Chain A
Amino acid sequence: MSSDLDVFVGNTTLIDEEVYRLWLDGHSVAEAVARRLRGGVLEREGTSVAVLQSDTRDHYRTFQMLERLLHAPPRLLQQLLFQIPPERQALLVQRYYAFDEALARELLGKKLSKGTKKELDEVSARTGVGIRSCRRQFDNFKRVFKAVEELRGPLAENIQQLFLLDYAAIVFFANSRFETGKRRLQFLSFADFAACAQSMMGHWSQGALGEPPDPRAPEAAEPDGDLPKSFLQDLKELKVLVADKDLLDQHKSLVCSALRGKISVYNELEANFKALSRALVNVGGKLTHARDVRDFFVDLVEKVIEPCRSDKWSPGDLRLFLTHYTAARHQALWERYMAAITACLLRMYHD
């Protein structure tokens, strides 16, 4: 006796969190049933496999119908088809747009193109994230990217309004195409990059200045995902700090006198000051050229983090150095620039 048709519809839509998770992970109904069985529902509820199958199918159908709405989360609020309590709606969206960091790390800075999508098989194998789940997450990234591409205003807020979640980092990276895949960057996690992206957007973007954007300024019309051009242009002025020998010496003596006795790696600092300073300033100077922008993180790691690490600087040493290095000069542009660089470096300075 087979059930050809078997449906259950509640006035309030039933959402089973466990089944939702299985569906999001891309399991088929059969796999989901198998997993639920392993979870011991049968023993707990004293029911049968047939019941479990029927239940799983019901939930899967519901999720498939909901998926269309999940693609535009605000519509989930307005739609009339499913009566879902708001806190459950929030859960649905949160879970749908949640991503595996391993996957996000792989995709950071990559172009969200068809080509990348084809590579997802490998990514799936490397990260251990199911291929169907990989594709869904990839589509989520792409959907968010596409939706905010055209929008004005702060990126993170736009994304929150449309999709509720933290995609800013991914979009920011996809926009700026920072290189993240180099071997020497492998020690950095997605969270590291996301934090860096946040600092950079936080300190460098137009909205971060705390003043209303000037409508006449060219960058006011730019999407927030790109760093303001005028700011990047201004950064070139900083080059004088390392180009002018007097200024460089003056800077060094200020920093060194402030740090003498307070830092365990004083000798190394004194020896390396010029190289470090050059690296720190030049990273900013290069940001105007798209090709050089890609190397932002590579440069920071290669020219700052690695030398410090080999000299056995502690994180505290680095913090102290950067604080005084920044404080030695009083200039709004400098402080604005160094605030993000400092935050990035401190975040990235680990094994």
Chain B
Amino acid sequence: MPGKLKVKIVAGRHLPVMDRASDLTDAFVEVKFGNTTFKTDVYPKSLNPQWNSEWFKFEVDDEELQDEPLQITVLDHDTYSANDAIGKVYIDIDPLLYSEAATVISGWFPIYDTIHGIRGEINVVVKVDLFNDLNRFRQSSCGVKFFCTTSIPKCYRAVIIHGFVEELVVNEDPEYQWIDRIRTPRASNEARQRLISLMSGELQRKIGLKVLEMRGNAVVGYLQCFDLEGESGLVVRAIGTACTLDKLSNTSAFLPACNSPSKEMKESPLVHPPSHGCRSTHNSPIHTATGSRLTQNFSVSVPTLIYTGMGSGSAGKEGGPFKTLLRQQTQSALEQREFPFFTLTTFPPGFLVHVGGVVSARSVKLLDRIHNPDEPETRDAWWAEIRQEIKSHAKALGCHAVVGYSESTSICEEVCILSASGTAAVLNPRFLQDGTMEGCLEQRIEEASPPGCGFCHIPYDELNMPFPAHLTYCYNCRKQKVPDVLFTTIDLPVEAIVVGKGCLIQARLCRLKKKAQAEANATSISNLLPFMEYEVHTQLMNKLKLRGMNALFGLRIQITVGENMLMGLASATGVYLAALPTPGGIQIAGKTPNDATYDQHISHMQKKINDTIAKNKELYEINPPELPEEIIGSPIPEPRQRSRLLRSQSESSDEVTELDLSHGKKDAFVLEIDDTDAMEDVHSLLTDVPPPSGFYSCNTEIMPGINNWTPEIQMFTAVRVSRLSTINPTNQTLNKNFNDLCENLLKSLYFKLRSMVPCCLCHVNFTVALPEDELVQIAVTAVAITYDKNQALQANKAPTEKSQQRASTDNEEQLQFPLELCSDPLSSQPFSPAKEVLEGASSHTGIPAAQRATSVDYSSFADRCNSWIELIKLKAQTIRRGSIKTTTSLEKASPLAEGYLRHRSVPSCTNSTVSVVKMTPLSFLPGAKITKYLGIINMFFIRETTSLREEGGVSGFLHAFIAEVFAMVRAHVAALGGNAVVSYIMKQCVFMENPNKNQAQCLINVSGDAVIFVRESELEMLPVQPSTAAPQPTSSAGDVTT
């Protein structure tokens, strides 16, 4: 499919002054694609040039279309010397290559320079005409859709979920080429930005080819990362889940897919691909890397812990045969795949049958030993090794698949830690391939595993347990065995029955290591890793129990390597699953029982712990229904070598003078305090402060126990760099400092967002980096969403005995809360009431129009003066119309068309206000329906300065840069015709400074899905006026844009 790319340069505005003499600029534009360049005329002496160029046409094949970015450079013409570059805009034209996404890119883009930041804006229109070509041996994969979202996108239905796709490309890093010594920082940065853009395009095209080979049409949960290896190169790698998606075309399909999952799925015909036995999952062509080559690379494989709820037990009696049958069939479906991995974290109902637990693998590699650094073979082999390990871990848990799968790296000098983790699971084969067994199985599967608890039931064999554990019968169905604790990397399944609310749980850890070189360094790191994993696990377990909860979702463990230390940060969302047993408390056992004061101290601590648990239970509303004590577990006493962490079945310990029976009865978790370290650990457990009242937090898509969101959201990124320096750093002091750093950061977030209370921080994503000795960098991206407290209370009161709630993402529930809250910001949020607004100033200065009339004969003056403000307010109304409950006027009845007009508004209309673009790390927008996915946003920026102090120091520099990145993302989305980015993620934020030289550099990589959303309230309006322009939101959006 060769195509014709057409570009038109319309105008510029707010350009910087390039000619000091005249205070003006003679700007022109270069438009470059591949090797072809066009130029506009010079528009002399203006900071707001109107080029209105002709259409520049590039005739290119689609392979090029996929790989290359469109590069627009704005320059200042200079008759006597070289033209000065003002800045550039890179436009990824991929969204124009598939039919259902955007058809035109048109709008104002910030002109970006890697040294000066944003310098004015340029208005550009881009179109692509694709010609059909029946060449089967094509190298392009136009038409395959990409989604960052780790669930099936809202306006699609999964016909088949094919499975894992991955790809990796390597190139020399321009920053390390010889030429970098002689070129300017700007040239170097631009070379790097362009290269990464090219590599991303190539990577995406190659993954697309694999998807086509698998007969899929989309990649969901697409995660692309960069490894800045330094001397050995620049790696761009990506993983994702290949799917065949079907666009939901009618409004009825908008109704929640999970409303009646089984029924709907039976009705929906399955598309059987003619041949599913493709070998396409043979991912890396060089998979068969020879052993000899590998031995040249130093590699240490780290023994990995398998986290799970520790449990075992035979499959329930009734369910047994089906389970076996199911397993066999799933197995057959999955065994054709090299890696039965899924990057999804949320699944269609019925897809997830059982969850085994978290599996993870890490391996330490030396980058300077790569035999052939420019080729991807070695890295492919590394990852293949790790994936193999993950696969075998999953097998050990009786699972054939891994869901919520992700990969990451941490690099320090020549050492690289590769990590992979996921959740071992048993899946329903129905989605994986043709549905031959479906007819006979489906009914029974549903019987065998009740939706609310089925996924908790153990997949492994009770008699042949992979690890020592403690099982009980499911507290929900009483038929199957469940573990006492469940850890997973996925989101809480929609159908899960939970008690109370969830909360963010973090384990934080520092470990010093000696500075060393090469093998010695790698060996010491790999020796430390298992201990860190163990400690992280212990911390998570303790903190979970401290909150009276029994399961973790969205678990993400990040191990970061630095020169002289390793840091571990695990984040997850704790929750009380009704199907699992009530967690026991934590008991402290002293080592020297004779000492009276010591005993007193111990019992004091015990009391504190018990108090904390009680408080947390109240805070998170964990009041599980009382169950008769008929449930018999099959505890298997375990010989544990590690001494500090002991589990026992001791009925309430006698040394505790505790009253709380709820965790006195159950078997408790005993912490033995045998040295000061242990004491510190217990102390640190208690330092986690709960969020201030009105705040909740989680790192998953949905907050368990809260579902009445209002549409008010605030996405943010916060970055902190701190020195953990102490004169003689010990693990304890470092741990404490690191812990304080994280806690203070959270505290600061709560304070910043206090005006949004009651609210929940969702998808809280921490990333840790160690840019230099003792410097720790923490970056957090999350979204704060306000929820309706009153409704929550009502919902709780209504079913009084039903303290169990469905943790529901269900959009249909979201749309039921009133949107009035945000409808009139003026009335709901008055300008600071009178206090110091006027401060002696006359009536005009701070008074909103509504109150204006009070003033004296001077008021007519004030009247006129307010007119501009009126104008702004008027515009506010127009913009807000998108979010307020609309009345039945005809004009307002078609918000879609209006939104369309707004975004496509004529660029020359310079008075138009900037359209609002929402950003969120979640896959949905509360109170809104996503009607269209416009394509993936994947942007990489470098910013550098040689005048750090003048730009406000490191904070000023990074503050401006992050704001610029947001602005560029928003501009691209708006140009695609969208009004939001979902599944937004900041994948990398690499910050380096050299204060002595007054220099700093930062690299940021972000991605997400550009979408069009429509407010629920507006959607409701649509059917009322079917005759107007936009009768059907889903399909019409596509029609309108074409």
Min CB gap A78→B, angstroms: 7
Q: In the assembled complex, which residues on chain A have CB atoms less than 8 Å from the CB atom of B748?
A: 8, 51, 54-55
Name, among A81, A86, A198, the residue most crowded by chain B CB atoms within 10 Å (CB to CB): A86
Check A81–B967 contact: CB distance below 8 A: yes
Query: Quick one: which of A1, A77, A160 contacts B865, CB cutoff 8 A?
Result: A160
Residues in B with CB closer than 8 Å to A198 are 858, 860-861
Contact A8 B963 (CB under 8 A): no
Query: Is B620 part of the contact surface with A, judged by Cβ < 8 Å?
Result: no
Closest beta carbon of chain B to A152's beta carbon, Å: 18
Taking CB atoms, residues of chain B closer than 8 Å to A48 are 744, 747
In whole Å, how far is A57's beta carbon from the nearest beta carbon of chain B? 7
Q: Is the CB of A166 within 8 A of B14?
A: no
* Pair B846/A95 contact, Cβ less than 8 Å: yes
A65 to B963, CA, bound (A): 10
Interface size class of A (residues with CB under 8 A): 35 or more
**Do A12 and B721 contact each other (CB < 8 Å), given the known contacts A156-B865, A164-B868?**
no
| Contact of A254 with B by CB under 8 A | no
Q: Which residues on the B side are within 8 Å of A77 (C-beta)?
A: 872, 875, 911, 913-914
Q: Is B723 an interface residue (CB 8 A)?
A: yes
Contacts of B850-865 to chain A: CB distance below 8 A: 857-858, 860-862, 864-865
Within 8 A of A (CB), among B945-967: 952, 954-956, 958-960, 962-964, 966-967
B916 at the interface (CB under 8 A from A): yes
Q: Is A47's beta carbon under 8 Å from chain B?
A: yes
Give the shortest distance, in Å, between A245 (CB) and chain B (any CB). 37
Contact of B832 among A10, A17, A81, A166 (CB under 8 A): A17
* A191 contact from B749, B858, B955, Cβ within 8 A: B858
A122 at the interface (CB under 8 A from B): no
The residue in chain B whose Cβ has the minimal distance to the Cβ of A91 is B831
B interface footprint on A5-22 (CB within 8 Å = 1, 0 otherwise)? 111111111100110010
User: Which of these binds chain B: A97-105, A111-119, A235-243, A317-325?
Assistant: A97-105
Instruction: Tell yes or no: A264 within 8 A of B by CB.
Output: no
- Closest Cβ of chain A to B111, distance in Å, is 10
Query: Chain A binding site: helix, strand, loop or mixed by DSSP?
Result: helix
Query: Taking the complex as formed, is B331 at the interface, i.e. its CB lies under 8 A from any CB of chain A?
Result: no
List CB contacts (< 8 Å) of B62-97 with chain A.
Answer: none
Is A86's CB under 8 angstroms from B872's CB? yes
B965 to chain A: closest residue by CB: A9
With the chains together, A310 CA to B702 CA distance in Å? 78
- Taking CB atoms and an 8 Å cut-off, the chain A residues in 1-48 that contact chain B are 1-14, 17-18, 21, 45-48
Instruction: Tell yes or no: B845 within 8 A of A by CB.
Output: yes
**Partner among B754, B840, B862, B876 whose Cβ is within 8 Å of the Cβ of A101:** B840
- A328 near B: Cβ within 8 Å? no
A80 touches B110 (CB 8 A): yes
Is B918 touching A11 in the complex (CB atoms < 8 A)?
yes
Q: A7–B747 contact, CB under 8 A? A: no
A21 touches B955 (CB 8 A): no
Interface string of B525-541 (1 = CB under 8 A from A): 00000000000000000
Interface contact A45-B861, CB-CB below 8 Å: no
A175 within 8 A of B: no
Given contacts A47-B747, A195-B858, contact A81 B110 (CB under 8 A): yes
Other-chain residue from A17, A52, A166 in contact with B861 (beta carbon distance below 8 A): A166
Is A11 a contact of B879 with CB atoms below 8 Å? Answer: no
> Closest B-chain residue to A77, C-beta based?
B913
Distance from A190 Cβ to chain B, minimum over Cβ atoms (Å): 7
Answer yes or no: A262 CB below 8 A from chain B CBs.
no
Partner of B962, one of A2, A7, A83, A166: A7
Q: A230 near B: Cβ within 8 Å?
A: no
Q: Is B752 an interface residue (CB 8 A)?
A: yes
Q: Which residue of A lies closest to B849 (CB)?
A: A90
Complex CA gap A252/B923 in Å reads 84
Task: Let me know if B826 and A87 touch, CB within 8 A.
Answer: yes
A260 to B: closest C-beta gap in Å: 30
Minimum C-beta distance from B836 to chain A (A):
6
The CA-CA distance from A45 to B832 in the complex, in Å, is 18
Chain B window 705-720, contacts with chain A (Cβ cutoff 8 Å), 1 for yes, 0 for no: 0000000001111111
CB pair A85–B966 under 8 Å, yes or no, is no
Q: List 18 A-B contacts (CB under 8 A).
A: A2-B723, A4-B954, A6-B720, A8-B716, A9-B963, A11-B919, A13-B963, A21-B836, A50-B744, A58-B959, A62-B959, A64-B952, A78-B13, A82-B963, A86-B873, A99-B845, A100-B840, A347-B857
Excluding A3-B721, A62-B959, A90-B872, 17 further A-B contacts by CB distance (< 8 Å) are A1-B723, A7-B720, A7-B962, A9-B966, A11-B918, A12-B714, A45-B754, A47-B750, A82-B967, A83-B917, A164-B872, A165-B868, A168-B865, A191-B858, A194-B842, A195-B857, A198-B861
